[in-house]
Structure 1
């Protein structure tokens, strides 16, 4: 702003050159017009009027264009009064302005009233009709245009492409060539874009040959369009070759080749290109930051975002969303609030994508109430925004709030339903999972792979074999039975439901298996007592695939070795974890080995292992050791273990539960009551036990000390009858 008024002060000084004065004036008016500086433009107009130069043709035309851009009709009409005679430039300006405003009929009226027209008049109206989809009228004018030069041909070809009339545009391009009109670089850029949109590789290569023949193969804009064409059609090597042979490159060239490496997932090469770029725009930064976030490299995304800010680049909404998503992945709440403040400052609070990312951030960081404040400020919420808020509630265990919000969504997408299904699944409300799934089917919404996988997971956790088989049948109907994620969920469901044969059958039929698939099958075999078969499958995986063992697979192997007495083999795999598989054992691995040693009578070794653990032992590790002591009569170790459990009980409710169970197994019921009383006095809670049974396709859940079941009285009546029968039988025996 300061620079503008500085220029004005220069104009007020004695003018040495009238031409330079006019040029400065025209430049100022262009600046005001471009940046919509209405007040400043009016000030300059007043100054020019006072100086007596406002009627100069160049200044008068620029004033007219400025007021047309401002859509100041009264000022435009005043300026038009000064034109007593026909002025083609003025009429062309009026045509262009009316086209920009969407007043095509008024533009046509001005065009028809012109006593003569030039190529600008015809091209402006033809382009205007194409811009607003009035193709027939545009072509009618085009074929009657007496100035059919390369500009008018290119405008028509580009306009037809914008209206998705690809074949018609190519017909016009061929007609242009037959009329001996030489294409320019803009023509070729438009035609190559059309080839990309049509997916016409052979046609594009023909155009490529023509580009070389005409001599535009070194033009930067044409090369950029060819690189984009190559990338969209998956011809990455061709795109790379075009880029490498370019003598001159601009930021679009570099961004295009960067996008290529990003698209094929080669982030290392993409980063090299990014670092070599002599100039970067917001698209370049956004491409790297978003892909880092998508691939799970959230820390790298944040580092790059900081560099972008330091470089003075203002992030667009897409870049901000990616950065906020990265912060959500890292649960960096304070830094997220800093970016939120930036969003407020630049006025992007109503951007649904940025707002959805902020809601997700607050939900991921355990502050769904702050997410709700963001949600309530968004004026035009889309379904993504609603779904994100529902998910934020679900991820924080606020299922009632999630359900209330879910019921308010007018048009529910598959994402809306999946948010509720996954929310109930995460909070272990498996009966609600089925309820939502049934309502979803009744609403007419078709489930997707995510829905089916989640429902199968609920079946697995409830060991609901009948429901699982029903969902399995639906996968064939929906065409999901070949999907690796659905197949893995089915393997897990059948294994956890005890139907190991069906689990193996599904696994063997899977066309594609990932590490999760192998983990589910190996673990399923181990947990169902097929320990040796589990080990054989593990060895097959190592020999026939490139899948590297992960933490869960090795845990399943240790479990299998423990339950079939293969102690030495189990220790062998345990020792290989760090040396060969490069996996650091966690608490669960150590607990499994302690259990394995304790089961085989090697209790002292189990105790030594617990003492040497680099991490804090789980309560279950001490329980396994104590169980081994009881089995093999190791009273001295048992006393030390019991004392340790007593100490744990002071810190964690799990220790009290374990201590209570130890007393119960020894028949010391007064100590059990005392331990439970201590838990209650110290405010320690244990999640209530839950049992369930499926009757006639309906799931019945029973929680400890829960009296909410609708048939509670009838159930207790049957229990009393059974009790009486047992007492009678006891008396007779």
Structure 2
């Protein structure tokens, strides 16, 4: 906790909103004097701009003279962006020369030691983008002792504005006295760069507080999706007696939305109304639209939009998001087309929604249209479109977008870099992903997690493990990356070990974690570990998630506990097509033919449209139960639903025909769709030929299988077995000799036992197990006991 003894600094001066009319004053504002008049006033003190010894003025005259120099510099800064200056002795092109002349004169006359003159020199050089002269002027300020707190704050802000965070940090660390302004500037810059740990460190060091300082910290946490930390800072802000402004409250509402704290968000809205900030601030009203949308009340969000008397591009973008959340992406596009003004956020929102809904091609198309519309992509746009390219494995488009990020200097951003790493990993370009990772000057946890997941996706678990061990700071997403990597690569024991290590580290597992863990339990048939995970799920309150419920049901079914599987399935508050498919497959694998057929009919009655995976589960079940007529019926139904059969569907149909002894029909089916057939289809036919001892079709199937997958041992083994079953021992032996000649070995069988939470795996003809001698001694003892 931060100390509550922070002193509240005086409030900032009231600022006028851009475009607002100035408040009328009792006295008319004086017109500012032109640069030429000020220069004449310099000459009136008989000082010479071009050099020469100055006359010794009185202190009062010297102060007035310094004020005149500062006024000249201030007017030059104000006129820097103008196409013409006030009266017209000086054109905009000569104004920098005036600044240089005044600077030279200030050095000669000693005016450079005046704090006001020194400060205005910095702002004048910055206004004319003369960075080298600005830096020299600042060094002169420091050496002469004229550098004020404003000068340091200004230079830190200038370095940050130029993107030179390293120079800004060096200057900040060397400041004789840091102000809350410099702390705010550095915290904001580090958060935008993704260096959250460094920003938090500065936040804890700062002995001062102000509204902008807390707001920068809250907005930074929101930007980095650390919503609970943002709410913690807001709580501390209130504890220190600092009242939030409307900008703070907008960020706090975003944090509440991200953390799912909708009741707290409504309380913040009430606070804004009580403080009379809500009605006059458009940003707060826009935040309320998003809040209603995330609460699952799109109707209220639409009413809020309709009731707004004034709307801006953010309001229209929020409405676009309402349609997208409802799944009406065409309606969202119509809103985009009718918007009076569009920006990169509007386009980025629609691109992100298409990418999230799985419409990756449309997301890339929208990005191209956005560029044609003249909008400059932001970080969010790049992240979303690169995610779409990763889903499509479109290396060409991804590389083109990478070039655009380099051109726009976004490639070093940690969020864009993370998206690039994922894209290259999904496109099987691991060296490029590693090169981007190595080039990052600062790497946050997201970058590390992206590369770990990328190596896992490409089945490079050794490299993924090495990265995980080097990871400076692990979060829940880091553990998810390594656990899901193990599960995807069928290293289920390692997945469970990592899960237990995650619990020991104090990190809280989420839905993704449990999905991977339950997958591992299902494949290991480890009912004990599955029940332990189920208990943890109930304790954490995530059992109502459709993803977790589906994984639980599948785990129990694969472990043979059908009663628990059905209980979990029917207790789920919502069931999607994946949940129904998992339950159907569970019943089918356990031999409940009648029940899975009835469940499929219930699924249709419930209005759930079956997908290709559902039909695959049904056909798989029919093939294993020998239900030929049902398989033919569901195969035709799938085509009637507009689902084009894939290779796996044809494999199931070949298998069900072959099991029924209709080998010729199965072979004709495969030959009729040669381009869609896969090795498993011919292996299924060959296996049936072995059962029915059909040598002719078996030989043709074996030949085709070897052509499709020359390293597949199944064809050789099945053909050898078929020859043996027909009594052709010589042919069977030749198959085995042929396998040996081309260095093909049949995959060994594997078994495992669980003792005291540890898994011990055993392969046939095991030679490398560390307890090999003990195992064989025990086998000899058991054999002796059985035969004695």
TM-score, reference length from structure 1:
0.72
Q: Secondary structure at the match of 1:199?
A: helix
Shift of 1:517: 1.6
Shift of 1:712: 0.9
Partner in structure 2 of residue 11 of structure 1:
none
Between 195-204 and 514-523, the greater mean CA deviation after superposition:
195-204
Distance 1:526 1:130, change over 3 A: closer
Partner in structure 2 of residue 569 of structure 1:
630
**Where does structure 1 lack aligned partners over 5 or more consecutive residues?**
1-17, 82-90, 108-126, 135-159, 173-186, 217-221
Which structure 2 residues correspond to residues 169-318 of structure 1 after superposition, within 5 A?
Answer: 199-200=266-267, 225-234=284-293, 237=299, 240=302, 250-262=312-324, 264-318=326-380
Between 512-521 and 700-709, the greater mean CA deviation after superposition:
700-709
1:560 lines up with 2:627 in the alignment: no
Partner in structure 2 of residue 695 of structure 1:
755
Shift of 1:526: 0.9
1:453 lines up with 2:510 in the alignment: no
Partner in structure 1 of residue 720 of structure 2:
663
Distance 1:190 1:423, change over 3 A: closer
Shift of 1:337: 2.5
Which structure 2 residues correspond to residues 384-399 of structure 1 after superposition, within 5 A?
Answer: 384-399=446-461
Partner in structure 1 of residue 433 of structure 2:
371
Which structure 2 residues correspond to residues 610-649 of structure 1 after superposition, within 5 A?
Answer: 610-613=670-673, 615-629=675-689, 635=694, 638-649=695-706
Supply the distance in 2 between the matched residues of 1:303 and 1:592 (Cα, whole angstroms): 37
Distance 1:617 1:302, change over 3 A: closer
1:426 lines up with 2:488 in the alignment: yes
Supply the distance in 1 between the matched residues of 2:373 and 2:545 (Cα, whole angstroms): 45
Partner in structure 1 of residue 504 of structure 2:
442
Supply the distance in 1 between the matched residues of 2:152 and 2:209 (Cα, whole angstroms): 9
Which structure 2 residues correspond to residues 66-215 of structure 1 after superposition, within 5 A?
Answer: 66=124, 72=137, 130-131=211-212, 165=238, 199-200=266-267
Q: 1:494, 1:500 within 8 Å by CA — same for their partners in 2?
A: yes
Shift of 1:531: 0.6
Partner in structure 2 of residue 584 of structure 1:
644
Supply the distance in 2 between the matched residues of 1:655 and 1:104 (Cα, whole angstroms): 70
Supply the distance in 2 between the matched residues of 1:679 and 1:205 (Cα, whole angstroms): 80
Supply the distance in 1 between the matched residues of 2:145 and 2:686 (Cα, whole angstroms): 100
Supply the distance in 1 between the matched residues of 2:650 and 2:315 (Cα, whole angstroms): 54
Q: 2:702, 2:719 within 8 Å by CA — same for their partners in 1?
A: no
Between 366-375 and 462-471, the greater mean CA deviation after superposition:
462-471
Distance 1:193 1:722, change over 3 A: closer
Q: 2:386, 2:423 within 8 Å by CA — same for their partners in 1?
A: yes
1:503 lines up with 2:538 in the alignment: no
Distance 1:203 1:296, change over 3 A: same
Between 415-424 and 189-198, the greater mean CA deviation after superposition:
189-198
Partner in structure 2 of residue 477 of structure 1:
539
Distance 1:320 1:696, change over 3 A: same
1:595 lines up with 2:655 in the alignment: yes
Q: 2:122, 2:151 within 8 Å by CA — same for their partners in 1?
A: no
Higher RCO (CA < 8 A, seq sep 6+): 2
Residue by residue, what CA displacement relative to the aligned partner does 1:548-586 show, whole Å, maximum 9, x if unpaired? 11222222322333344432222111111111x222222
Partner in structure 2 of residue 29 of structure 1:
77
Q: Secondary structure at the match of 1:693?
A: strand
Distance 1:20 1:285, change over 3 A: farther
Distance 1:377 1:263, change over 3 A: same
Distance 1:332 1:692, change over 3 A: same
> Cα RMSD (Å) of the superposition?
4.8
Shift of 1:523: 0.8
Distance 1:243 1:438, change over 3 A: closer
Distance 1:165 1:704, change over 3 A: same
Alignment length, in residue pairs?
A: 622
Supply the distance in 2 between the matched residues of 1:451 and 1:195 (Cα, whole angstroms): 28
Supply the distance in 2 between the matched residues of 1:630 and 1:80 (Cα, whole angstroms): 96
1:43 lines up with 2:43 in the alignment: no
Q: Secondary structure at the match of 2:762?
A: strand
Shift of 1:492: 1.2
Between 324-333 and 278-287, the greater mean CA deviation after superposition:
278-287
Q: 2:118, 2:141 within 8 Å by CA — same for their partners in 1?
A: no
Supply the distance in 2 between the matched residues of 1:366 and 1:317 (Cα, whole angstroms): 24
Distance 1:708 1:228, change over 3 A: same
Supply the distance in 2 between the matched residues of 1:342 and 1:476 (Cα, whole angstroms): 47
Distance 1:30 1:576, change over 3 A: same
Q: 2:73, 2:124 within 8 Å by CA — same for their partners in 1?
A: no
1:465 lines up with 2:527 in the alignment: yes
Shift of 1:67: 5.8
Distance 1:257 1:563, change over 3 A: closer
1:711 to 771, 774, 783: 771
Shift of 1:192: 9.2
Q: 2:292, 2:301 within 8 Å by CA — same for their partners in 1?
A: no
Distance 1:22 1:304, change over 3 A: farther
Distance 1:459 1:66, change over 3 A: same
Supply the distance in 2 between the matched residues of 1:365 and 1:193 (Cα, whole angstroms): 36
2:588 to 495, 503, 526: 526
Q: Secondary structure at the match of 2:753?
A: strand
Between 308-317 and 455-464, the greater mean CA deviation after superposition:
308-317
Q: 1:227, 1:257 within 8 Å by CA — same for their partners in 2?
A: no
Partner in structure 1 of residue 51 of structure 2:
none
Supply the distance in 2 between the matched residues of 1:441 and 1:192 (Cα, whole angstroms): 35
1:675 lines up with 2:735 in the alignment: yes
Shift of 1:723: 6.6
Residue by residue, what CA displacement relative to the aligned partner does 1:75-127 show, whole Å, maximum 9, x if unpaired? 8899999xxxxxxxxx9x999979989989899xxxxxxxxxxxxxxxxxxx9
Q: 1:656, 1:675 within 8 Å by CA — same for their partners in 2?
A: no
Q: Secondary structure at the match of 2:676?
A: coil
Supply the distance in 2 between the matched residues of 1:369 and 1:584 (Cα, whole angstroms): 37
Distance 1:190 1:41, change over 3 A: farther
Q: 2:344, 2:377 within 8 Å by CA — same for their partners in 1?
A: yes
Distance 1:263 1:163, change over 3 A: farther
Supply the distance in 1 between the matched residues of 2:248 and 2:503 (Cα, whole angstroms): 46
Distance 1:338 1:41, change over 3 A: farther
Q: 1:32, 1:40 within 8 Å by CA — same for their partners in 2?
A: no
Q: 1:254, 1:273 within 8 Å by CA — same for their partners in 2?
A: yes
Distance 1:241 1:532, change over 3 A: closer
Supply the distance in 2 between the matched residues of 1:238 and 1:512 (Cα, whole angstroms): 23
